[in-house]
Amino acid sequence: MRPGLPVLTVEGLSKRYRRRVILHGVSFSVGAGEAVAIIGPNGAGKSTLLGCISGERLPDSGEIRVCGTNPFSDLGAAARCTGVVAEQPFLYGELTVGEMLEFIVEVRRRHLPHVAQEVIRLLRLLGLEGAEGALCRELSQGMGRKVAIIAGLLHRPSLIVMDEAFNGLDLPSADRLVEELAERRRNGAAVLMSSHDLHLLARICGRGLLVAGGAEVTPLSGAEWERWRSAPSLGLNVAGARGSHQPDQQNS
């Protein structure tokens, strides 16, 4: 990736399912070190937006650049740059935890130095130390999500995409993951995340995108974001406040 380029650029992204328009003309960028929240009610299009960015869903129109790469024409390069924790993470049930993580490293072709030590560190971070020999199909939901988080972080991605990644995490592991994301950001990684825990988004992120029904996406930044952080909601109070507050002019 060339210095100075945003980690993620989305321009004119549109997506529909049958006759329903989910996203229309969505444009924003995320720079190195930023954490951006995707906010909105169920069914508004948050997972669709994140899925298009991660390459899991094909948009109808628009352009996406991850580390300067189109994820649909060069999936391998984009995947090496991106760490994804999906709302419904997929693990190969017949692999052990250790084998699953080894597989992730091979698939992404990121033969990083000290990768074995990094595996151990992340297992310890999320309270899975000693679970390397457990079959993925025998893991609890919370343990499986922790393995998926490790798989998304292991290759040191420049863009971390998290869709409800904190679901089912115990509080100590969640707190340590927040600290890990902050450290990754200090080292230049960008974070794009959704969560039903709005206070978590307010704690981690520095601005947001409100995805509402009818394909509308509204950027929240600056003073408007600070108002949202003071009383996190699905955004209805923020939208209603636009008549009584001067909107922040900073683009997302």
* Residue 1 domain-assigned (yes or no): no
pTM to 2 decimal places? 0.88
Instruction: Write the CATH number for 99.
Output: 3.40.50.300
CA dist., res. 212 & res. 120, Å (int): 40
* Residue 16 domain-assigned (yes or no): yes
* Residue 252 domain-assigned (yes or no): no
Burial of 1 (0-12, 13-18, 19+ CB in 10 A): middle
* Residue 250 domain-assigned (yes or no): no
Helices 171-186 and 141-153: crossing angle in degrees, nearest 10, is 10
Tell me: the pLDDT tens digits for 72-107? 888 888 888 999 999 888 899 999 999 999 888 887
CA dist., res. 158 & res. 31, Å (int): 10
* Residue 54 domain-assigned (yes or no): yes
Backbone dihedral angles phi then psi of residue 233, each to the nearest 5 degrees? -150, -175
* Residue 2 domain-assigned (yes or no): no
For residue 13 the two structure tokens come to 């992204």
Full domain range(s) for residue 91: 8-243
Tell me: the pLDDT tens digits for 24-36? 999 999 999 999 9
pLDDT of residue 239: 44
* Residue 141 domain-assigned (yes or no): yes
SS (H, E, C) 60-88: CEEEEEECCECCCCCHHHHHHHEEEECCC
* Residue 3 domain-assigned (yes or no): no
Please count the structural domains in the chain: 1
